[in-house]
Each structure stands twice: as C-alpha cells, then as structure tokens.
Structure 1
Amino acid sequence: MIETTLFAKTMIILCSQLSIVFGLTFYVMKKSKEAYFNNTTFLGISFRGAMNLNKEFDLIPYIEDTKGFPKYMHLPNGTKDDDPVIAMNEESRVKWQKIGYVVSPPANKFLNAVIVSWTVLLFILVFIGYFSVPLGIFVFTAQSVLMGLLLGVLFLEMDENDGIRALKITFLATLFSGFIGYSDVGSAIYNSGFVQNILFFGLLALILFEFSRTVFNFSRNTIRLKAFFGIGLFIVFLFYDFARLNELSGYSNKWDTAFQIALSLYLDIINLLLEILEAMD
C-alpha cells in the first residue's frame, strides 16, 4: 500500500472539494446561459441579457412574477420598519400601488431549500470529522455540491465576469499564502500568540458586523471597508493554516488530522472569495 504524507492527504481532500464547488459554479453559469438563449428557466430562475461597463455580456437573473393573487408588496425605498402588505385582488393591488408599493418578487423555493440544507450541513461538518472521517467526507461533499450551486447563483446575481475575476484573485492569493505558510514567516505566524489573538478577535468582529447588518443599514463604503478587512483577515488565516499543516507534518500523518486542516483551508478560501466578491460588488 502506498503511504502518503499529511500534505498529500490534505490536498486530496481539499482539492476534491474545491473541484466540486467551482465545477458546479461554472456548470450553473453554463446552463444559465443556455437557458437564456433557449428562453427557458434554470433552477427556477429566468434570465435577461445585458452588457456591463466593460462591454462584457452579463446575465441578469430574475424570478418571474406568479399569476393570480395574493401578491406581496413592499415600498422599494422603505426602511426595515416598513412592513410588507398583501394584495388579495386587483383592486387591492392598485390601491397599494398608488401610494408607492410595488409587487415583491416571488421567492425561489428550491434555492431557499438549498440555503437551509447548506447551512445545516455546514454546521454538522464542523463537528462530524472528529468522529468519523468517511462520514465527514460524505457530509463535506454534500455541502460542497450545495455550495457550488449557491456560488453559481451568486456570481450571476452580481456579474459572472466579476465572479470569475474574483476566483482568479482567490487562486493566486491561496498559492501565495501556501508559499508564505511553508516559510519561516509562516512558522513565526503559527507560533505567535499575538497573531492568534488577532485572528480570533478579527473573526469575532466580522461575525458581529454581519449580525448587525440585519438591524442597521450601513453605507456602501462601510461594507466595502469591512470586505477589505475580511480579505486581509482570511489571507492571514491561510498563512496560519498552511503553517499548521507544515508544523503537523513532522509528527502526525492521520486522515482525521488531514480532514480538519483541509476543512479549515476550505473555509478560509471560500470566505476569502466571498469577501472579494463583496469588495467588488
């Protein structure tokens, strides 16, 4: 039997999961473009074609309005305290429309189910690897499939051209982080309690900010500033986790260790990509 190193084990897990995520992301974009040209839907989504500022073709996804009633309506420029209303018939719809309400786009039940399932699997994934690596790989794969679908839709929502550019930046940043993590700088980062405190409190600050966005309205500049902070933070996380892989390679060569490191690197990369996307949006 061929014996593999901890690095090889980790890369097998990490690269296979990232291949699933990004492979499905490109699949969603490809099938969405086909749906646009065939005038059909994909994942319950319809598409319009447009040109972005760089003269690149851009798909604009939307959910077609359902026929009949009831219809949910909202104020397009209202605050979060403005409650939506329900129009039960055409007369009611016209009444609300006269005072500024517009029909809310219908929800995509399939995507909502994907989001809920992905959230549950991600929560399970954080803990399950400690008990069973094969089961952890199964949950990891299921989560990656859902992540790929969501990421594909997210790329389309903002601009798939920017999404591809963000993906390239993430790839280069990950390669750079790998080299740093395996250098003396990475070793110093891994053994620095100060850096560990920065990572902990930085991540806590990001989480608190994201929760506060459900209550407060922040300016675009504030959100972009947070995104740049997140980019820097997750690059340092990549430094740290690559350095951890390098340090543990000297005295551990188990699949459960490889699984935990691969999961950490996976989350670093996905979060880095999401922060780059938010900075570009």
Structure 2
Amino acid sequence: MKRLIQRELEQLNDPGPIKVMRSVSGGDINEAYYIRTNLNEYFIKINTHVPSNFFKVEALGLERIEQTYTINVPKVYHYNEPYEEETGILVMEWIEENRQAHSAEMLGQNLANMHKHPAKQFGLDQPTFIGRLTQANSWSGSWVKYYKEDRLQPQIQLAIENSPLPHRRIDKLERLTDQLGQWITHHPKPSLLHGDLWGGNYMVGPKGVPYLIDPSILYGDHAFELAFTELFGGFPPTFYVAYQEVMPLPLEYEDIKPLYQLYYLLVHLNMFGENFGPPVDRILARYVGE
C-alpha cells in the first residue's frame, strides 16, 4: 500500500519520502490514510472494489460545490480511474479538525447559500454513488417525478432484488410512490444539494470553518437535504436556526420530512439489512395506512 501511495504522490511532484502514514476513519466503504511527506500532508482514500468512475464522481461533486464559493471543501490533488482489478485512489488536502462554538451556525449559513445555487431542472447529468450503491440521474422539470423515478423506485427495486420484501411493504411502497404528488404539493426550485449530508460528511477545519466531504450531488428540493440531517440524531440547533435565516423551509416541511427520509432509510435497508425495515414501515403506515 505504501508503495502505491508513493507512486501516486510522485505524479504530484512530491518525491517523498513518506514520513508518517496512519490509518484514519474513512467510513464503511474505503480504506483511508493520513500521509505526511517533507512537502505536504494528505488525506488519501483507497478502494479495490469500486467502479472505475467512483472517485472521479466524488471529485467532480466537490468541484461543483467549490464553484459556488459558498462553503469549503477539501482540495482534490489527484484521483485515478482504475481498470478491472486496479486499485482506485483519491488524494486530497488534509484538514486538521478544529470544531468551535460558531461552527454549526456557520455550516447552516453556508449550506443555505449553497442551496441558493440553482439549475434549470431537477436531477443531474451523470450517475452518482451513495455509499457503494449507484444512483442513476436524469433531468426532470418535476421534482416529484424525479424523486419518484430516480430516487425511490430504484431503491425499491433493489430491495426487492436483494431479498424478499414482505408483500405488504411492497404494496405500500408502490401505493406511496404513486401518490407522492398528494403530499408534496409545494413547488421547490432546483437547489444544488450535497445529497448525503449526515453528521459524518462534514468536518470543521482551521478557525472553526466547516467543510463538506463525500458528496453525492444533485439539484433538488432543499428540504430533502435538511430532512436527512435530522434522520440520525440531527445537527446542533444553531445549525437549523442559521439555515432558516438565510433560506426558510416550506410550511409543509414537517408533513413531508418523513417522505424525504424514506429514501435514505431504503438506502440503509439495501446496504445494511432489515434493521432498517421497521422505520420504513412506520413511514408507510403514516401515509398509506396500516
């Protein structure tokens, strides 16, 4: 592994030697390392079991966010597109964490400003990934149509293929997706979204400045993003106050929040199994009955 990393750093005109190499938390998908040479510090992700465009998509997502000039992301130095059994690698700037009291408030303000960056339609021009799962994308003039066809239905189909779902759950999922427009009645504008924003996908760097990491970008309803931030414990209250001062949520937010969280629960059901089945069933019961 060290030899592979050294070879990639040489492409960045960093001849080494590697002075420090230590494993760091990189989530459930990748191996991750802190690397220090005489010239620089790096955060490096490595994976031998991902599609060739896996790290390219992540790098392009970070670039798209950076181009809004609203919120920080780590600088991407290099990525490769592995062929067959080759190892994929992504080399980024190392961010030394320094969380401060104002960091959550700043994150809320900056994220809201990022969400103000629009597109003409909902969706994206290329597939992305959430965890190890591929997400197809297309462009749509209707948020409800995009959310149904590019988000919910592919995860439902994957769940059916991966393991036999209870017939009652399948029936309810189909009824819910057919009736989405009954509940999602507001008319959002397409906002640039991180797409996978939970507590592990932002960090705080020097002077308490927040950084977004591991994006799965799309243009969608900004309430979709906020709903996921609340799913697994939520962010600090100051985050939500600061966000809404810049970009208020729709009046219907509390009514549609579980519908938006449903997508991420289906993703977790497909990645981690039936432990995520009961919360899916509770959402279905709320909208289509027991």
Normalising by the residue count of structure 1, what TM-score does the alignment of the two structures yield? 0.22
Higher relative contact order (CA 8 A, sep 6+): 1
**Structure 2 length-normalised TM:** 0.22
Structure with greater proportional strand content? 2
Larger-gyration structure (1/2): 1
